[in-house]
Structure 1
Amino acid sequence: MKIIIIFLTGLFAVTGSWFADKSSDTESYKDPVIFSDTLKKDSETGLIIDKDLYMVKAQCTSCHSSKLIIANHFTRDGWKQKIRWMQANHNLWELGETEKQVLDYLEKYYAPTQTFARRQPLKDIKWYKLDVK
């Protein structure tokens, strides 16, 4: 019985904070992990289908697997740093004007995801002594 109560309390804390953290504008919040089952994926690469997918496939998957992209989640600046690192260390060519398209795509679908595993810290806790007999 205690386990069920603890589980339900934890579940309520997680789902309560999940709903509280959502903005009213659902279009501005896109978390690929949560909505991954609603996004269509390219059968060849497993990458999310978008208008910029062709450019990402052309620029990225000619050297490495798309699984490397799927496994990583960086900010736009983080992806840009990875591109610069590949250019400096692995002879990646200059992306030129296509770099913006690639970064837009990576930022949109493969940015750090928001997790809801922990509740907000408790505030204003009133402690009391237990009577132990």
Structure 2
Amino acid sequence: MKKQNHDKLKKDFRSFYKVLMIACASIGVFVVALMYLIKNPDVSIFKSSEPNSEIVAVPVEEEGLDKVENGIHVRTGFVEAPGMMETVQNCTNCHSAKLVIQNRMNKERWKSTIKWMQETQNLWDLGKNEDIIIDYLVTNYPPQKKGRREVLSNIDWYELKD
């Protein structure tokens, strides 16, 4: 009986120790972040006006975030055209601009992809920006004929013999 009590006490202590270590690590991360913010007064913490967005630290005085050179948005690589900033502001909050650029789709596929992101990835309602973004993407990054090979069809399969 004493051995069972001892084993239960050991198990309870291990559980308590794990919780204590996680709490200490969390406090440590918080303290390091707080020290960074105190030592770097040019960094501001703000909450985006977009729903479901996270708090991010961005240098207040950082210039050139939306700089365009030779018709290309420097930070993202997006082509400068109507709808670029709406695309930057809504798409690059969650993922890289490269992911957007490489997925060349037509209007219907973009609509279904946005709907999927809203249903499964917590993408907010884009409102009037949805059509602006889709038009920008379809115009500047249309589907390409080249790239991956087409799906194989009309194949004469044969059986390999040992």
- TM-score using structure 2 length: 0.45
What does residue 76 of structure 1 align with?
Answer: 107
Could you list the runs of 5+ residues in structure 1 that have no partner in the other structure? 1-38, 116-133
Mapping of residues 1-133 of structure 1, within 5 Å: 40-115=71-146
CA distance in 2, matches of 1:89, 1:73: 21
Whichever of the two has the greater Rg, that structure is 2
Deviation of the 1:66 alpha carbon: 0.2
Write the deviation string for residues 85-122 of structure 1: whole angstroms up to 9, x where unpaired. 1001100001111111001101101221244xxxxxxx
3-state SS, counterpart of residue 131 of structure 2: helix
Aligned pair count reads 77
Greater RCO (Cα-Cα under 8 Å, separation 6 or more): 1
3-state SS, counterpart of residue 85 of structure 1: helix
* Richer in strand (by share): 2
CA distance in 2, matches of 1:49, 1:113: 20
Write the deviation string for residues 56-91 of structure 1: whole angstroms up to 9, x where unpaired. 011111111101011111111111111001001100
- TM-score using structure 1 length: 0.55
Compute the RMSD of aligned alpha carbons: 1.3
